[in-house]
Amino acid sequence: MTATQLVPEKDPSATLGATRKIMSGGLPVGPATHLAEERERLAALTWVNFDATQLGSTLGAEISGIDLTTDLSDDVISELHRALDNYKVIFFRKQPLTSEQHVAFAKRFGELEIHPFIPSNTGVPELVRFEKTAEVAGYENSWHHDVTWRESPSLGAILHGIEVPPVGGDTLFSDMGAAYDGLPDEVKEQIDGLTAEHDFMKSFGHTIPEDRKEETRKQFPLVEHPVVITHDRTGRKLLYVNRNFVNRIIGLPDEESAALINYLSDQAATVEYQVRFQWEADSIAFWDNRAVQHYASSDYWPQRRVMERASIIGSRPA
């Protein structure tokens, strides 16, 4: 006897509703409905000194009608900062900045940091230089905030694409406000008030000679930041945990701490929280280092990829 094949009359999603589900095996699927309000809010924004094209659901916009090589007025800088607050990361095309112009633009938003572990552009110490070749491969392909091992990590960073491969080398950004909002209520209650220990050694320890490690540790001691921080300009709650720099959650047993770090870090990998930027020569990405994590796709080897970054010193997260 031949079995009769079931012919469904409805899409299999029709009975699930507009609610994210955890399917068998713990697989989360379904609509990220909590993004809708922020997506529509961003879509309604208007700007005086430039145009902005929204790219991601809750983050990312391409800014046009502005020339970053010129001496911009305070009003324009203030409006760009408001755009950064709202979109979390903003992008520019065809901006052939010299190193001096790059630094001058970044300084309009605050004092710049000098990175102790990554080489700078010769003669311009405020610019970190990422020069990747067949001999020097890209190792920035993990989700992270920059320099959270500092007592006062970066407010933001401005990255200039100097030489980019014809294909590959995109940078991805993930909204840590959306990541926090998407957590179950019981997880939010669990992490409220928790603190994480951040450490430069996890990523940069291998570059420091043994006889300099004690000295370097004194210069950059272990620091603690809240697992959930509040953005000082927007008031938005943000996840502030990444695998690159977090050793442990203070006060939790080792296994529980490791499991929680992994769970919270995994939220950045949710595609619905992301925007992806495809580089061209003289493109610029300016991101809020508190509001987003980023990931540099390492899919272009052995092609060259040369970028320079200026980072703006921020305040201590709270």
3-state secondary structure of 168: coil
Residues 298 and 134: beta-carbon distance below 8 Å: no
Residues 131 and 266: beta-carbon distance below 8 Å: no
Unique residue bearing structure tokens 């007592």? 151
Residues 269 and 296: beta-carbon distance below 8 Å: no
The number of residues in the chain equals 318
Closest by Cα among 298, 314, 300, 295 to 110: 314
Strands 274-277 and 171-175: antiparallel
Helices first, then strands: H and E counts in the chain = 8, 18
Q: H or E stretch including 189?
A: helix 185-191
CA distance 155 to 178: 19
Q: H or E stretch including 161?
A: strand 154-163
CA distance 176 to 242: 11
Q: Which tokens in the block code for residue 243?
A: 């695998």
Strands 89-92 and 61-64: parallel
Q: H or E stretch including 276?
A: strand 274-277
Q: Which tokens in the block code for residue 309?
A: 């970054």
Phi, psi for 96 (deg, rounded to 5): -75, 70
Residues acting as catalytic residues: 144, 146, 294, 309
Q: Which tokens in the block code for residue 123?
A: 């003669």
